[in-house]
Structure 1
């Protein structure tokens, strides 16, 4: 492989730093580091990929339909002193381009001695991560994430890179939007599952290959940065289910309170399909990609069980019931963006969910390299996650 002079300089600089046992420190971009203080000698922990790891919806601590006290205390961007809400208080500068990297994003919520770097961006497909020579392209005004990774990792020690990718290559958001639209049709609406399941089956092989290609380019970027395979951990994770099956929804009867109150406007058949089939199928495909791409696999498909939007085991916050990690939903409910928050935050892990995923990642990296499944403890908060071997 031919390495450009600029790339060669980076590799040589990394090698020199390693030989001299010098830890290279320096200011990190605000959009990546979020200003988190870390010891100069702490190794990097880097997150790459899409909205489920960038921190989309981290602005919210549970869901509420009551406006008082910043939507009953759920809006973390609300300033009680001014009575105004400023999302940049949670998302920082990344709110300007829509990457929405929250202050409690998964990589920010780990309890490890690491230097946290969040390069993920809401809406990213695999093309936003790949190296340019392999089809990677700038996204939302930023260079490809693999390029950014190479720059960040050059001359620094590295503990792990964790990747969340595939949902946008599948078109998950469009599929779920179509399902919600069908529910809202005044006449003739019907479940989307029969048609959507066929679309998913057709697209999943492409999702698998996109994830494999992403992992390959991550390894290439790190090799160029002076980190050979085996010197760091590489983790590919799946997605938590944002919705319960129909048997566990607080709003029975397929009525409009699922929209107006719960923020879960879906037919029973679609709820059960998304929970029982869609999310596990995506997880299975990503597990295959991890094996082929030489990465560990972290299965998150059941990490929010009982904490999903409209689940019977949760409640919305109100004046008498402030949000807590043990009672609130861990996923942002569906919103049009005309009221509270942004439409793009819908059905993403909120601050409780992101902290739970941070606990999962902490547990994963505290164990020897292997595939695991992370689940929660019923009735308890984000710190009470459990990890078991995936077999």
Structure 2
């Protein structure tokens, strides 16, 4: 009889454990009278994907810029309708908003008073957007305009090509590049943290949205025809381009990945996204990045002349379409990190991190 009572006691205990587990896993839906958990982000308005960052995100190089961001009133953010965010296609998302601005440093993404081409903090712009939009994903690319000052390094490498008697630009860059990237990381981390802060203050929890931090692609590869190693194409030395592809972009990518870990953002690595499709690699129609681009019409206007080369060496419209293809796959996966790599079909795809290695 004692053994019989023990058996029934054990059975009752097992039933209680299973019942508690069922309630824990099914949540309030299994408890009558309790409110059902919300479905998706809080607030009202269309379900939206937002892009935040610098020229890689704004659409610099993709052309057809919105007039209000093409020099009007001093605004040179160069937002393009061809930017990858405008091509994001995920279920239920009906709105796409590009807050990115060409040349933006991390400081202008973060909350604060910093401006870029007349525009205030992108995190603050997001706070305003949340009032009438429901945010499903925020895609960010920043860092290159902090200590690495990527565009300034491109200028130095151009000078090295123009003055062959001087050392390659990579001679000095390799000495300081890692320390520059290390100094960048906390700034990127702080900016992404401010984006998260804005969402949290609006009632969002991490499960409500996807947070993506992207790295950068190398815009020019070392194997370019000599005829294009000129002002008509890509005026850079081979050794400098080799360093940029092998070390420069990969070290920068590692730094951004470090910031993604610190902020619990998903990381999308673009460091190898342009392989074989860089500027000056083949027929311009097959390239995903702009060559040296000069807007001749801007040279005759004082307020535009200094921006005449701004589009050079950025993802072009084809490049943004490919990044969008990779990003769509990445967002659909909803978890983990990935790299954008060219597939057998010639398109850019999101390769899960374990595969990409």
TM range (shorter): 0.7 to 0.9
Number of the residue aligned with 2:157: 179
The answer to whether the 8 Å contact 2:42/2:203 transfers is no
Number of the residue aligned with 2:269: 299
Instruction: Identify the structure with the greater helix proportion.
Output: 2
Shift of 1:137: 1.5
The answer to whether the 8 Å contact 1:306/1:378 transfers is no
Number of the residue aligned with 2:214: 237
Shift of 1:268: 1.1
RMSD (Å) for aligned C-alpha atoms: 2.2
1:330 matches 2:288: yes
Report SS of the residue matched to 2:340.
strand
Shift of 1:22: 9.3
Number of the residue aligned with 2:104: 124
1:268 matches 2:248: no
The answer to whether the 8 Å contact 1:111/1:362 transfers is yes
Shift of 1:92: 3.6
The answer to whether the 8 Å contact 2:327/2:350 transfers is no
Number of the residue aligned with 1:51: 55
Q: Which runs of 5+ in 2 are unaligned?
A: 1-37, 299-306
1:24 matches 2:44: yes
Shift of 1:200: 1.4
After superposition, the C-alpha distances for 1:194-243 in whole angstroms (9 at most, x for unaligned) are 10122312211111111111111001111122212221110000011101
Distance 2:341 2:96 in 1: 23
Larger Rg: 2
Shift of 1:337: 4.2
Mapping for residues 267-286 of structure 1, pairs under 5 Å: 267-286=237-256
Using structure 1 for the length normalisation, give the TM-score: 0.73
Matching residue within 104, 110, 120 for 2:82: 104
| Counterparts in 2 of 1:24 and 1:188: CA distance versus 1, 3 Å | same
After superposition, the C-alpha distances for 1:15-69 in whole angstroms (9 at most, x for unaligned) are xxx89x99734xxxxxxxxxxxxxxx4x11000010000100111xxxxxxxxxx
Using structure 2 for the length normalisation, give the TM-score: 0.79
Number of the residue aligned with 1:138: 115
| Counterparts in 2 of 1:389 and 1:206: CA distance versus 1, 3 Å | same
1:94 matches 2:69: yes
Tell which has more relative contact order, 1 or 2 (C-alpha 8 A, sep 6+): 1
Number of aligned positions between the proteins: 302
The answer to whether the 8 Å contact 2:42/2:134 transfers is no
Q: Which runs of 5+ in 1 are unaligned?
A: 1-17, 26-40, 60-88, 317-322
